[in-house]
Amino acid sequence: MRSQTVIKAPVLSFDTADSANSSPVEWTHGKEMVVFTLSDSAVSGPLQKLDLNDETTSPAAIKDGAVVLLKLRAETTAAADVPASYMRSRAAMVIFPELPGDQEMFEQRSQRMPRMSRKMDGEPVPPVRVVVKPGAMAQLWAAPEGTIVKLQADVTPWETSHTWNVLAKIEGTMKKDQIILLSAHLDHLGVKNGKTYPGADDDASGTVAVMELARALAKGPKPRRTIVFALFGSEEAGLIGARYFLKHPTFDLQDIAANLEFEMIGRSDPKVRRDQLWLTGWERTDLGPELAAHGAELVGDPHPEQDFFTRSDNYALAKEGIIAQTVSSYGLHKDYHRPTDTLAKIDWQHLDQAIASMIAPVTWLATSDFAPTWKEGMEP
């Protein structure tokens, strides 16, 4: 992996009038805007304005290398509702306004430098994502189409690092070419400014779940379907391990019937019963309700405003059309991404019950003919 680190708040600039009467505008990360993702130290392109209230507007209209400014529909209340197809476009940059449901997230990200996307050889560069305050949005929307918009950031020199994935399998009998993928990520944030970030809940708890499920399922009868156990590296750096796996799979990705990612199950969530887990993207597929019908203590994600469906390795797989969802019980505790996410904070009884509760449902999934499907219009 190749990476850089942002060392000074990025600045976005453009002119509000023609060159003869130019009036330069500058916005700074953490003030008028927040840079969510940054793929290069300098990004620029001609302004292209798209109004999503116009039903004829589509991602196909986006020009190569454009700085796309999205005017969102009135009913859009959170970034999770912005169509993902615009975020995966050919644009150099995608800008949209801060939304009511994202004010807390905007404030949190304002307090730290944006993280640069780590690059793997051969991967396309994703568009830079910028969220702006409503007043700034109006100012840029008033600029003429084609106005050159620039984003500049001071960054460190390129550094090279390495990561790894760990995979194992129990080969199926009658349907061994159908795969149930159980996964978690084995990394956390490491050491920052001399402080160790243990990641006991995020995601040692999920890693333990996959290992324990492997141990329990290996003791039972051979399943009809193949079960693959995957521990992905560098999820925290941008789903790196999962993205690499998708580019270099050890089997045909079309053989994956379902993927369950286990993420942060080391504590109970006060928004659900103590013995319950929840599934991201519950409303997107028929997998969750079917697992629940076969004994899983699973309910829908009680934190839809957090958009957890897109925030773990499952999302990299889901974007490839794979039914991939995350099992969790993260209750938005204050130790998330903190040095205090330690073993002392783990609820061992909950963790034990959580893992045990998934053995029978996963066994059923691996021996059944059930093929989960996306609900209409819900595939990312």
Which pLDDT belongs to residue 214?
A: 98
Query: How far is residue 142's CA from residue 98's CA, in Å, rounded to a whole number?
Result: 17
Residues, the chain, total? 380
pLDDT for position 49: 95
Say which residue, 103 or 297, is predicted with more confidence: 297
Residue 30 gets the label, from left (phi > 0), alpha (psi -120 to 50) or beta, of: left
Give the separation between CA 27 and CA 11, rounded to whole angstroms. 6
Q: Are residues 238 and 173 in the same domain?
A: yes
Range of the domain at 13: 2-159
In a domain, 328, yes or no: yes
Residue of 159, 156, 158, 150 lying closest to 42 (CA atoms)? 150
**What's the CATH code of the domain at 117?**
3.50.30
- Across the range 352-374, mean pLDDT stands at 97
What separation in angstroms does the CA of 111 have from each of 35, 107, 118?
Answer: 11, 7, 21
- What is the predicted pLDDT for the residue at 124? 65
Are 316 and 278 in the same domain? yes
Query: Which residues, 6+ apart, have CB-to-CB distance to 349 below 8 Å?
Result: none
**Per the structure, how many domains does the chain have?**
2
Q: What's the pLDDT score for residue 108?
A: 82
Distance of CA 237 to the CA centre of its chain: 11
Report the CATH number at residue 213: 3.40.630.10
| Domain-embedded: residue 374 | no
Residue 132 makes CB contacts below 8 A (sequence gap 6+) with 27, 32, 33, 95, 96, 97, 98, 140
Instruction: Please name the residue ranges forming H helices in 175-239.
Output: 205-219
The rounded distance, in Å, linking the Cα atoms of 13 and 153 is 12
pLDDT tens-digit profile of 95-140? 999 888 778 878 888 888 988 877 776 566 678 999 999 999 999 9
- CB-CB contact of 225 with 176 (8 Å): yes
Structural domain contains residue 372: no
pTM of the entire predicted model: 0.75
Are residues 70 and 30 part of one domain?
yes
214 and 106 inside one domain? no
Q: Are residues 249 and 281 in the same domain?
A: yes
Q: pLDDT digit string (tens) for 164-208?
A: 999 999 999 999 999 999 999 999 989 888 899 999 999 999 999
